[in-house]
Amino acid sequence: MTVQPYPLKFAPEFKERVWGGRALERFGLTPPEGAIGEGWMIADHPNGTTRVVNGPLAGKGLDEIREAYGRDWFGSRGFSERNGRFPLLVKLLDCNDDLSVQVHPTDDYEGLPEGELGKTEMWYVLDAKPGAKIIYGLKEGIGRPELEAAIAEGRIMECLQEVPVEAGDAFYIPAGTVHALCAGVVVAEIQQNSDTTYRLYDYNRPGLDGKPRELHIEDSLNVIAYEGAGATRMKTDGVRPGVWLKIAESPYFVVEKGIVDGSVKLATTGDSFVILIAADGSGTLRWNGGEQPVAPGDCFLVPANLGEYEIEGSLTVLRSRVP
From first to last of its 323 residues, the chain has per-residue pLDDT tens of 689 999 999 999 999 999 999 999 999 999 999 999 999 999 999 999 999 999 999 999 999 999 999 899 999 999 998 889 999 999 999 999 999 999 999 999 999 998 899 999 999 999 999 999 999 999 999 999 999 999 999 999 999 999 999 999 999 999 999 999 999 999 999 999 999 999 999 999 999 999 999 999 999 999 999 999 999 999 999 899 989 999 999 999 999 999 999 999 999 999 999 999 999 999 999 999 899 999 999 999 999 999 999 999 999 999 999 99
What is the pLDDT, as a whole number, of residue 318? 98
DSSP string, 99-130: PPEEE---TT-TTSPTT-----EEEEEEEE-T
For Cα atoms 175, 178, 180, give the angle at the middle one, nearest 5 degrees: 110
Which pTM does this prediction carry? 0.97
Report CA dihedral (42, 13, 44, 244) to the nearest 10 degrees.
10
Angle value at C-alpha 228, between 223 and 231, nearest 5 degrees: 105
pLDDT of residue 234: 96
Could you read off the pLDDT of 305-323 as tens digits, one per residue?
999 999 999 999 999 999 9
CB 296 within 8 A of CB 275: no
pLDDT value of position 242: 87
Read off the amino acid at residue 4: Q
Query: Which residues partner with 221 through β-bridges?
Result: none
The structural domains of the chain, ordered by start, are 8-235 (2.60.120.10), 245-321 (2.60.120.10)
- Catalytic positions are 199
Q: What does residue 69 show for φ and ψ, rounded to 5 degrees?
A: -115, -10
pLDDT at 15: 98
Q: How far apart are CA 58 and CA 178, in angstroms?
A: 39
Nearest to 113 by CA among 78, 82, 67, 80: 82
